Amino acid sequence: MASKSSAEYYSNIKDMSPIRAIAETLMNNHLVRKVEIREAYEMACKQPGVTITDIPMCPDFVKLHNLPADAKVINDCHGNIIGRTAKARRFYHRLDPSKKNKLENDFREAVWQMQHYPLIKAEAVLGMDQDLMIKATFVTTESDAANLYNWLLNFAPFESVQKAYEASPKLPIQDIILIGFNEWTCDDPFYNNVGAPQLALVDEKHNVIVNMGMRYFGERKKGTLTLAWTSGIRIGMAACHGGIKEIDFGSCEDSQYHKFGKRSIAFYGLSGTGKSSHTNSHDNAGTLPRGFGKVVLHDDAFQIDLENKCCRAWEPTLFDKTDSRPIDHPDWKYALALMNHAVLNIDGKRIPVGQDLRNQNGRALLDRGLLGNYVNKCAFPKALVWLMKDSVLPPILKLKNKYLAIAMGAALMTQRNRAENVTEEELNKLVFEPFANPFRVYELYRDVEAFLSVADNGADFYCFNSRGYWKESDSVLEAIPLKTSLTLQTAILTDQIEWEEWDALPGAMIPTKASIDKILPGYYETYHPAKRGNLEQYKQLLADRFKQRKDYLAESDLKERPETQQELLKALQLKI
């Protein structure tokens, strides 16, 4: 087997946290009934808020999990909350002893309430490659059957991978426990309250997530995945909220490409930066050489194994927004389950509408097959790309200095926009999400050290600007079309670009005129930093943005690694 039960993991049982002890006791209660995915589907179909649509479920999944032959995609509407709630999170290990004691007491009381409802549990495995598998158990009420069913779809039901799991090497990691209780009642102002109390309790050191008063499936999915990422960090891997694909140049018609073999490229970016567009693009807008092969590991979550120099996927499915998928979109044939969709009667059939008609953030669980050929393990990344909407950055930078490369990832940023009704001063403030991972529950320096190890193992780092590059001001920009960025992606995979120093940022490089104009005629004149209009104002904004990056990292928990922190801050020093 892979992960360990509590009895196996804790050589001194007193090392177990009270949070895990409470969760484990509930999990092992004889009144908690274990269900498998077929029964979960049948229960979910009867649950209030669920609509059985007339969209057939992806047939491969039906066969794999022995679901009814006529299984349909179900749509579960969650009520007022249709997204994750950051304000509900309470991190057990960050609290002082008195607040820890309070959380323990309140969790015990919540479990007492919970045991007055019929309870069910299910088991799943996180990790699609046999060498990285973690067992998870989800305990909840029968009224939450749709979330339990979706959770089994999102990960792998234990029974479907039991043989592989039992043959998997042991890891020094506890099994994951997830507790869900939608009917929780509490009037304590310590907890977030939106018409009802909400708590997302995180005990990352003991692999427990608790969702109280929270119906939205994304809390279950990302909570469980957060513990998987964190488990990987604990055993020396790098956690990746990003997409990665592997291109095989060995099958290209032109033999000059064969020398590149197989190369993986990973993309990290916040919503709207192009992460999925880069990962899922079929042929990089026609720029990949004829005859190439491509596999996708995942477009959202994976782990980099530094010891074995490979990448591994956590999930067999995708959890995608559907605002850009109309009724006739081909992706619906990969649908497994839906959340928060409008359902219309069209020609006597219940048809979901995937364009945020009912509410924002409509979501779908989709079979990974829509990505084309996929794998559970791929090559160590040849290239990692930070995707940023930062108008002071050229379309592409190669980050030659490893400390600069990791500093840019650790200070990965986004910006407010004018639709948010904020002041001009607020508009100029950057919002940082290190490594594009809002689900990090451990210290930032652990991610920094992990990605420094990725650099030490031979990966190259790049930064793509997916917003637009300063032309005359921060609002008058030189457009950077997606096709341009996809062409640049192919160019770095095939070593077509030669590089020169960007004099404003030592350690960062821009394409040479001779090399880039062969690939994208006119690129050098259009995007060279020295060609910016109102150059002095541009330099002022550039300086301000990098100062904000430095200030952010200076105030972070990198203070606990002062030598590393100083190297990162030094690497962000401009020369303008």
pLDDT tens for 236-264 read 999 999 999 999 999 999 999 999 999 99
Is residue 391 in a domain? yes
Q: What residue numbers bound the domain in which 101 lies? A: 6-51+79-235
- Return the exposure string of 458-480: e unless at least 16 CB atoms fall within 10 Å of the residue's CB, then b: ebbbbbbbbbbbbbeebeeebeb
160 and 261 share one domain: no
Which pLDDT score is estimated for 421?
58
262 and 130 share one domain: no
168 and 295 share one domain: no
Is residue 357 in a domain? no
- 173 in Cβ contact with 4 (< 8 Å): yes
167 and 297 share one domain: no
231 and 250 share one domain: no
Is residue 364 in a domain? no
100 and 159 share one domain: yes
What's the angle, vertex CA 565, arms to CA 311 and CA 555, rounded to 5?
105
231 and 257 share one domain: no
DSSP 536: H
CATH of the domain at 91: 3.40.449.10
93 and 157 share one domain: yes
**Burial (Cβ within 10 Å: 0-12, 13-18, ≥19) of residue 321:** middle
**Total of domains in the chain:** 2
Q: Is the pTM here over 0.85, yes or no?
A: yes
Is residue 322 in a domain? no
Q: What is the CA radius of gyration of the chain?
A: 24
Last residue of a domain, one of 203, 235, 267: 235
Mean pLDDT, rounded, for 254-277: 95
Last residue of a domain, one of 200, 235, 270: 235
168 and 265 share one domain: no
Q: Which two tokens stand for residue 204?
A: 């990352």
pLDDT in tens, 151-210: 999 999 999 999 999 999 999 999 999 999 999 999 999 999 988 899 999 999 999 999
3-class state of residue 528 by DSSP:
coil
Tell me the C-alpha to C-alpha distance, in Å, between residue 341 and each of 160, 190, 354, 357, 414: 29, 32, 6, 7, 28
Is residue 385 in a domain? yes
Q: Which two tokens stand for residue 439?
A: 């689900």
Neighbours of 347 (CB within 10 A): 6
Question: How would you classify residue 156: left for phi > 0, otherwise alpha for psi between -120 and 50, otherwise beta?
Answer: beta
Is residue 74 in a domain? no
pLDDT in tens, 369-427: 999 999 999 999 999 999 999 999 999 999 999 999 999 999 999 876 655 555 777 76
DSSP 472: S
Between 55 and 195, name the one with better pLDDT: 55
Contacts of 360 (CB under 8 A, 6+ apart): 82, 83, 323
85 and 15 share one domain: yes
CATH of the domain at 479: 3.90.228.20
DSSP 48: T
Tell me the C-alpha to C-alpha distance, in Å, between residue 364 and each of 73, 271, 430, 445: 10, 16, 31, 34
Phi, psi (degrees; rounded to nearest 5) at 88: -85, -10
Last residue of a domain, one of 205, 235, 265: 235
Phi, psi (degrees; rounded to nearest 5) at 34: -80, 135
Which pLDDT score is estimated for 375?
97
Neighbours of 513 (CB within 10 A): 14
404 and 468 share one domain: yes
Is residue 63 in a domain? no
How far is the C-alpha of 461 from the C-alpha of 558, rounded, in Å? 21
Residues written for the chain: 576
pLDDT in tens, 456-513: 999 999 999 999 999 999 999 999 999 999 999 999 999 999 999 999 999 999 999 9
Is residue 17 in a domain? yes
295 and 197 share one domain: no
